[in-house]
Structure 1
Amino acid sequence: MTDIELEIAGRVARITINRPDRHNALDIAMIDAFHAALDKVAVDKSARVLEIRARGESFCAGADINWMRRMAEYDAASNIADAKRLAGLFEKIAFLPLPTVVAVNGPAYGGGIGIVAACDFAIAVPQADFVLSEVKLGLIPAVISPHIIRAIGPHAAKRLFLSGRKFDAAEAERLGLLAEIVAPEKLDEAVNALTRQLLDNAPEAMAAAKELVQFVASKPLGPDVIAGTADRIAARRASAEGKEGLTAFLEKRTPAWRKE
């Protein structure tokens, strides 16, 4: 058994965080294994959806305390390299061209919230709670902040970053961090249902839709955005997938990607 498990089957990639005895807390070895799993998913042409799950009672308790002790003794160059490695993990999840679905089976703290925020869909149990308590340790949630701010907005993020208070699944859903809350016995069913729904969609179009959001969200409304969105829809209309989708709709038949 490893801390990060990867399975790819039936067009679905599944990464499972498997360190329940440490509440799935992150350390550098686990982060490296997570990077390696994501790299394999990115190049596997059969994978259409990525699910991220965790074993045990917690989703992810953030940074492992022993790793934090070691980090405090790092020199500046080592500290920066370590931080960039962690930042790259969340970036890799966020920019993966596949839709990502995370099953939040329990508490998510610090970096665990970073994983949740970097995913496209987060489904949680009511017992899941969340803490961004870095300021209580004299730290800040720096490398996870871009993903959290994009998920819940700057005002809500500022309140949580400054207070360091715990918030529950209901508040996380209200803020936009979670897409849905389901009973624990329904978590697998809900994730599987969403995955099936995503598998019905055109895979290249989903990747393009994710990139579209990144493009539009990163720029003010103006000529660049207008031209960029026009270019993107023109490219999709001319693509083989776009033509197949439109033809299938007009012919009242199933598009080819659903038959694979």
Structure 2
Amino acid sequence: MMYETLKLETDARGVATLTLAREEKHNAMSAQMIAELTQAAAALAADDAVRVVVLTGAGKSFCAGGDLGWMQAQRDMDGPTRSAEAGKLATMLGALNTLPKPLIGRVQGNAFGGGVGMASVCDVAIGVDTLKMGFTETRLGIIPATIGPYVLARMGEGRARRVFMSARLFDAAEAVDLGLLARAVPADALDAAIEAEVVPYLSCAPGAVAAAKQLARDLGPRIDAQVVDHTIAALADRWETEEAAEGIGAFFDKRKAAWVTG
């Protein structure tokens, strides 16, 4: 299968590398990328030759969140259409979160908003020690809703509340402390750190790995259709507010939103 926003390569060991390939856009998620990630997750799940999947980004950024054009298009949609778009993002995140293969995040650069969600659906994420992360949605008058179940499952509510609402950027060391990253390493040590996560799986029974991952998901925080639908509705409701109109408008107008006092 050919992708325009992704690159997918599998080596002789069965290690697939799925790369977000919109380097010029800091790998921001467009509607096309979301659709292609959903397709890629299904293809990887069905491919018995794939033992491990590494998720990474091309260029300096891992994933900058939502693409500006996608955001602008959502601003102009009606409520039901906007909910459907949020549903597509939720479906993609769910497909990666439940991928029946180990999913290792190679976070080679900054991750904001939905990019932090992408790191959170990985079974383990390792990042470079120079990166920044942040849940930047509330600056725009919206909320990190669709990614919420995955980042809360990764971080726990107490740690999430330190950064989930403030849009504050934080560094790699704090991302480790928050549980978003397992480790932060220098850029020249990142590939070796990822390889150290990959290799043990090549001695494991693939079916047992998939079953163990499913069991962990069954025993972990509930992320079912009801939870996902709640996040979609919460995001759709926020888009209808005056704050969202002001925040998104200010962003595209390159001005401060009305609530900014600092």
Partner of 2:4: 2
Letter matched to residue 65 of structure 1: L
Matches within 5 A, 1:156-171: 156-171=159-174
Residue 66 of structure 1: how far off its partner (Å) = 1.5
Identity %: 38
Distance of 1:123 and 1:198 partners within structure 2: 16
Residue 143 of structure 1: how far off its partner (Å) = 0.5
SS at match of 1:213: helix
Residue 215 of structure 1: how far off its partner (Å) = 1.6
Residue 115 of structure 1: how far off its partner (Å) = 0.6
Residue 162 of structure 1: how far off its partner (Å) = 1.7
2:82 is the counterpart of 1:86: no
Which of 1 and 2 has higher RCO (CA within 8 Å, sep 6+)? Answer: 2
Partner of 1:191: 194
SS at match of 1:108: strand
Alignment match of 1:70 (pick from 55, 70, 73): 73
Residue 218 of structure 1: how far off its partner (Å) = 4.1
2:160 is the counterpart of 1:174: no
CA contact (8 A) 2:153 2:221 kept: no
| CA displacement 1:52-91 (0-9 Å, x = unmatched) | 1111011000001121111001111110110010011111
Identify the range of structure 1 (56-65 vs 154-163) with the bigger mean alpha-carbon deviation.
154-163
Partner of 1:256: none
Q: After TM superposition, what 4+ stretches of structure 1 lie above 4 angstroms from structure 2? A: none
Alignment match of 2:144 (pick from 134, 141, 146): 141
Matches within 5 A, 1:1-260: 2-9=4-11, 10-218=13-221
SS at match of 1:59: strand
Distance of 2:57 and 2:134 partners within structure 1: 18
CA contact (8 A) 2:160 2:178 kept: no
Distance of 1:72 and 1:106 partners within structure 2: 28
Distance of 2:116 and 2:189 partners within structure 1: 21
CA contact (8 A) 1:48 1:203 kept: yes
Residue 2 of structure 1: how far off its partner (Å) = 2.7
CA contact (8 A) 1:134 1:161 kept: no
What is the aligned length? 219
Letter matched to residue 55 of structure 2: I
Distance of 2:221 and 2:147 partners within structure 1: 17
Partner of 1:249: none
Change in Cα spacing, 1:112 to 1:145, as seen in structure 2 (3 Å) is: same
SS at match of 1:208: helix
Unaligned runs of at least 5 residues, structure 2? 223-262
Letter matched to residue 4 of structure 2: T
- The structure with the larger Rg is 1
| CA displacement 1:24-77 (0-9 Å, x = unmatched) | 111101111111111110110111111111110110000011211110011111
Residue 158 of structure 1: how far off its partner (Å) = 2.1
Distance of 2:65 and 2:20 partners within structure 1: 12
Distance of 2:221 and 2:97 partners within structure 1: 14
SS at match of 2:143: coil
SS at match of 2:73: helix
Letter matched to residue 22 of structure 1: K
SS at match of 1:165: coil
TM-score by length of structure 1 reads 0.81
Unaligned runs of at least 5 residues, structure 1? 220-260
CA RMSD of aligned residues (A): 1.3
CA contact (8 A) 2:55 2:106 kept: yes
